[in-house]
A and B are shown apart, each in its own frame.
Chain A
């Protein structure tokens, strides 16, 4: 492979990584936009969802990578797996909000954020103790299809990741900008009290933000499993931290920013690894983050801090 071919291949790798980070970053950004709360439980909602996706696939009789489906059967199984995983992820997110965060809503200070860290550890340990520690071989019904363009290999699963991510993001954009509930979300993000006075049901908006954000984490989790063919109780940490960084880089609270931030982090990771060395990946990512925050404190696409009382 020539230098050019390798770089192009790394761009493809980076886009696939970035798509996953972006989906995960949206969950941070949606909740932050409305509650100004960094939800660390999101890391492990992602991790738990990947197991739910795995069990769903196993329930329809797929194990390992040897059961290959094609055509309608594949589409049906994938649609079912995505539906179940996203729904379960969403319900988990809503449950976290309802039972551990709503009672703290009126408490000032970092109590809610610390609570999300606690919830994160609970999810982590429930899976560790309940499912075990070893990496699980993820069931994957997708055939291995590769296209060769010159020196660059493109795989079916990469195209699927990009496609599914694009569809989900367009859907989210339409939801936020074209529906009544989306409008209520934007209003709450701008000023929760005023929105409430105008008749917006703030609780419903918050529940929606948690549901949508966690459902996207569910989608990201299933994509993760299908892409890497493994999952384990530990996957939430690195992916979650990178996605959170992506949300901050793009401008936390900004939906478009989370998408761009995710793709940027993915590309930085793969190209940085190629041109410098993988062991420096985190150093590169966080150096760029610090530089961006020094010069553009609200992130690339963040609005200037809104005036809040």
Chain B
């Protein structure tokens, strides 16, 4: 072990030797640290939920550090903001810049994020070139891990985009099944918010809805920066659908919820995990948000007794309640920690490519159960949970845990 003071002495005796040693300090593992990159949109409309995700991940990483690190390594966090003021929400161009930053720093051995699929599409090719694995706790667009698009999203071949949630290839269609089987919807109008996630989710939902005999009366694309959706919603009202399905995130979602409450108060309204968030509750508020259905692309762990201690710890540390994607982020961090431990145990150097290989082989017990990945990086456990926003006056009105009522699992297509 070479301490900083020893290094200083070296420097003062022989400048040449000192300089060489300083340059190759990481090889000596003097500090024995590794870095986990976290890129999330802390600026803009997604900030609230980005914080919940970050807090979930940090809870696991801080815990590990408090116990002396993992396999002797202390974990640093490189936290980057992928939201910009110009976009007003997540910004794929900024996400790409962040990916380059992580790849160019050799100490970064794995990453957590991104929150949004639009960012994921921008980051994935860069991470692939750098052989750096990332685990997303919430981005669900299936294209990124689809082998059909491997040339585009992972040009070097190996999977580097892992998920602790499943994809919209299940989220959209399963909700369409839920519409047909449980909600008995006959006709639907579909909206998206022009983002990679929103368009993909709405497309997947729409295709399965048609297959299940639900009439799709129309499809419109909303500009998330626009304030007024009354035109679209009035057009929709004129067609008289039973239900509205919205594929997209909070920036447009808040306005869809508010304005559809005024124009079509009575129909069934639903969205994907973009409608599951604190931002939705605080921005749209009650009574507008009451009754909306939302899904998440993971099992509902918050009601699970195993999660009780996690929730308690989270609430104590951050003074707020976690969301389901705080849990998938926590799980993502656990997977990375386990991968580092297994690389170290095998006696190999903890490099990012070794960590990637270890993540690929993961069989880790987490809050949501055993996490393991297929060859593309997708999680093998594919559950879509359905929630309905139901006002609970006993808790803060932006408390995800208590204002979203779990109503069941959306059935997979047979």
Contact = CB atoms under 8 A, between A and B. Distances in A.
Interface string B204-233: 000000000000000011110111111110
A128 B43 contact: yes
A278 B254 contact: no
Contacts of B43: 128, 133
* A6, A128, A134, A279 — most chain B CB neighbours (10 Å): A134
Given A124-B85, A137-B284, A270-B231, A230 B255 contact: yes
A137 B285 contact: yes
B279 A135 contact: yes
A187 B136 CA distance: 63
The interface centre, meaning the residue of B43, B279, B285 with most chain A CB atoms within 10 A of its CB, is: B285
B48 interface: yes
A273 B235 contact: yes
A308 to B, nearest CB: 36
Given A128-B85, A230-B283, A278-B222, A10 B255 contact: no
Contact of A65 (B88, B194, B282, B287): B287
Q: Secondary structure at chain A's binding surface: helix, strand, loop or mixed?
A: helix
Contacts of A128: 43, 85
A278 B194 CA distance: 12
A238 B227 contact: yes
A234 B286 CA distance: 22
Interface of B: 43-45, 47-48, 83, 85, 88, 194, 220-223, 225-232, 234-235, 237-238, 240, 250-251, 254-255, 258-259, 262, 279, 282-288
Interface of A: 1, 3, 5-6, 9-10, 13-14, 17, 64-66, 124-125, 128, 132-137, 144, 155, 224, 228-230, 232-235, 237-239, 269-270, 273-274, 277-279, 281-282
B258 A278 contact: no
Most chain B CB within a 10 A radius of its CB, from A6, A133, A238: A133
Contacts, number: 117
Contact of B232 (A65, A232, A278): A278
Contacts of B282: 134, 137
Given A135-B284, A230-B284, 6 more contacts: A6-B234, A13-B228, A134-B279, A135-B283, A269-B228, A274-B231
Contacts of B251: 135
Nearest to A136: B283
B250 A135 contact: yes
Which 5 pairs of residues, A with B, have the shortest CB-CB distance?
A273-B231, A6-B238, A135-B283, A234-B88, A137-B285
Contacts of B255: 135, 228, 230
A228 B285 contact: no
Contact of A228 (B47, B48, B258): B258
A3 B226 CA distance: 25
B45 A134 contact: yes
B228 A233 contact: no
Contacts of B223: 238, 278-279, 281-282
A33 B232 CA distance: 36
B283 A137 contact: yes
Contacts of B83: 133
A228 B259 contact: yes
A234 B225 contact: yes
A13 B85 contact: no
A279 B282 CA distance: 27
